[in-house]
Every structure is written in structure tokens, then in C-alpha cells.
Amino acid sequence: MSDCRRKSAGRDGKNDGVLDFDSCYRAMASRDTRFDGAFVVAVTSTGVYCRPVCGARTPKPANCRFFKVPAAAEAAGFRACRRCRPETAPSSPEWNVRGDLVARALRLIAGGTVDELGVAGLARQLAVSARHLHRQLVAEVGVGPLALALNRRAHVARMLIESSTLPLSDVAFAAGYSSIRQFNGAILAAFGRAPRELRRAHAAHDTAGSGPLLLHLRFRPPLDGEALLAWLRARAVPGVERVDGHRYHRTLRLPRGSGFAELDLAPATARSGPAVGRHRQVPVRLTLEDLRDVTAAVRRCRDLCDLDADPAAVAETLGASPALRARADAAPGLRVPGCADAFELAVRTVLEQHHPPERAARLCGRLVARWGERAVAPDGEPDRLFPTARALADADPGALGLGTRQAAAVHSLARAVADGALALGQDADRETTVAALRALPGLAPWAVARIATHALLDPDVFSAEDPALRRAAQELGLPRDPHALAREAHAWRPWRSYAAMHLLTATPPA
């Protein structure tokens, strides 16, 4: 069954997704890095599946099968390659571009929702039946939500085995397994080695059992680390975030407790020398109250730095625009920063309507000082979590320390989130959330667009009414009129959020 242009049957008799065999084979044979994470190739003669950039000898076409996700390859009886480590590849950017049911489900599963709520709970969050969700996922990627969650669980377990000296029993339960026997069997089936063999082979010495976890998050190069650090530094909320040189520190509110992340973006800021070709990963140190939150913490760090982006596809589209070509060439690998707390970002965006980013961040720091909770803080500062929506909704608007209009806008936003009328984050339906945000008082349409860009992770948002974008557009010779600018931006789809970032980073805020 080598031709993936036909729907190939998986172990359960369902379709494992449709991929163009010839295109996938050419991408694999040429080791095209643009396709790393977009699919995996399973080799029937060896029983392993690999990334398309694997350095092993190119298999014969008759021995190849292509799958959209690693879980589908594992469900078909293949194990992960020991050479290219498919579980470490960035995920396909397709799921960030799309905002439909399947894309939202895949983002939630990657964040560990199935381990927390089960498949039924995942379906409830998506407002569909578990049966319908299973059917949609099988038709799109070849396997259902449980198989995807099991695949993610095995990858988290391997990450903990190799990045810590935790007892293997602790690793098993932290990754979500209910027994040691289940843990041993799953790791052996997925990677062809028992957990103890993986640990001996890796010989992890970077972390202590009770200390932080040292992980390495891979990305598709290039990555403009300097621009990312500058964006985060200008918007760092006192008590919650700090940028120190090339390191970004922040607290995390996680499903089972608090956490602390330190991201080292120094490798991503290298412009020349051997480090450029060698480093395609961001080192992250995580300190967690509950190790079961490692999946959620990693997902938030990846979203924050937009590590699943496809810079080659973005550059190809934006480089075709005469107005943006110079900007795209001057800032390769520019990312659209996400967020670790969608409500925090929405509050800061409300305040940025009236203040520069640094001033808005300081005002958010006042809210943190009064209503923020203490968090895990290995090195002292930052040591607080951003206030919950419920805490600000129950507060007197006059006590927020903001202007009357700003306080009313923040209070109405917090009330909508706390009452469940507004959903923010990776599980939110983008169209529904944008409509709910526009109905809130005190939010301009361009502020809603910024929340959709950075909190909902929509890569195709562009508000021609944004005053900063209009000013930057005029300096680049683009039309300042909102209607004409919107027509010009249509050619930048589906990467209009990246076009907006190029414009915003080219022009300092007024």
C-alpha cells in the first residue's frame, strides 16, 4: 500500500489520512527541512518511522508509507527511529493555520487535555460528541483522540527519562501511566527499548531529581531571537516575567499547580559562526509543583515563542510582496509571540489601547501585586501568578488602580471569562471568541485583532484599523487608508499576522 494518494487502511480499518505519495517521497529524498514535522515516513522493511529529514539511506518507494502524525504510524505497527527521533520534531504548522474542530482537538491533545479530562472531557470542551470527534480525527489524521494521547504520553515519558534523574516510577505516573507495567510496555513498543535502556543510553546528568527539568524545544530555523526578546522585554509584567540578557523567565499557572520557566534564546540570536547551523532548539528549564504538568508547561513555552511556525512558507508568501520583501529579507525567522496566559495577554492588550507597552505592563504589575498569587520561584523574582479572571471580576473596578474607562473594560473582560461567556486559549473557537470580544465594552476592533493573534494563535489576522500598523504601512509606502490597506494585505494570506509583526517591529511604538 505504497500510494498515499489513495486512502490507506490502518489497523482499525479506517483511513489514515491522504497524502500525495510522490510529493512526500521527493521531500524525503531531498531531506527538505520545510517538511520536517509535516509528515513521517514509515519503512516497511525496517518497521520504523522517521522524519523526512532523517539521514538514513533513502528507502525504496515500495517500502514507504506516509502518515500525517506519528501516532498513526505507531498505530500501524511502526516504532520511532532512534537516529532522527521523530518525537522531537516541531509539529505541523497546518494545525495553527486552521481553526476547525480537528485543529483545535490536536492542539488540546498536545497540551495534555485527554490526560486531565479523558476523551469525553475533550469532546465536551469542543462541544461535540466523543463519537463525532473520533470520526473526524480518523478521517483527517488516521487515528482517534486516544491513540494521539497515548503517543503524546510516550513522548513525554521519554523526555522525562532523558532530562532528569527522577525514579522511573515517578516518570511513569508523571507522564500519565496508571501502572509501571503499562509504562514499560508502552515505551518498549514506541521506541524499541525499555525505559532503563533509554536512561543508560542518554546518561542524563543535567538535572537533579528534585531540581528543574532541562528540556530542548526544537524549531524550524531560522528564528529571530533578538526580535522575540525585544518584544517580550517591552511587555514583561513585573512580578510575572523578566528578561535577563538572552534569558526569559516567567511563572506559569498550570492545571495542577504553579510552575516556573526559563527559556534561553541565546542560540537563536546567533547571526554567524558554527552555532547557527548547530542549534535548532531552545533550552528550557522548568520547575513544577506537580510533574504531571510538564506537558502543559512545554506547550505554553512552544506557543509563547511560536516554535511550530514555518518560516520558509511565511518568507515565500511575504517575499512576493514588493512592499514587504525588504522587511522579510532583513528579519528572517521573525515569529509571532503567543502567550502563556491568554487572560493576562487580553488584559494587557486592553491597557495598550491607552498606553505604550511598557506602561501597560507596569499597570498590569499593580494588579499582580494586589491580586496575584505566590508561585514557584527558584531564583526569587518573578514569583507571582497573574490574577485569575475570577479575582478581578470580584474586585471593585475602582480598586484596580486604573482609569475609569480602563477599569470598566478590564472588569467586563474578567467577568465574561469568569462566567464562561468568553473562552480564551488554544481550545477556543476563533470566530465565536472574536465575536464575543467585539461585544465587550472598551475593546477597539484592532485590540480584538491583537488578542486573536497572540492569544488564539491565529496566523492570519490583520486589522487595517490598527493605528500602529497604519503608521508603519505609510512609512513603507503602503496605503494608509484602512480599506486600501486591507485590500493590499489580502495578498499576504494566510500569514497576515506575520506581516503585521514585520510592520510593528519596523516602526517603534508612538
Q: Which residues are known to be catalytic?
A: 50, 466
The type of residue at 407 is: A
| 266 closest CA partner among 274, 257, 275 | 275
Q: What distances in angstroms separate CA 8 from CA 16, 220, 285, one per listed residue?
A: 6, 29, 41
| 346 closest CA partner among 204, 452, 427, 421 | 452
C-alpha cell, 287:
520547575
Give just the sign of the alpha carbon dihedral 154, 158, 164, 167.
positive
Three-state SS string across 242-307, please? EEECCEEEEEEEECCEEEEEEEECHHHHCCCCHHHHHCCEEEEEEEECCHHHHHHHHHHHHHHHCC
Contact 413, 422 (CB under 8 A): yes
Question: Rounded distance, CA 310 to CA 333, Å?
Answer: 9
Question: Rounded distance, CA 295 to CA 311, Å?
Answer: 25
Question: Rounded distance, CA 448 to CA 470, Å?
Answer: 16
Question: Rounded distance, CA 193 to CA 199, Å?
Answer: 10
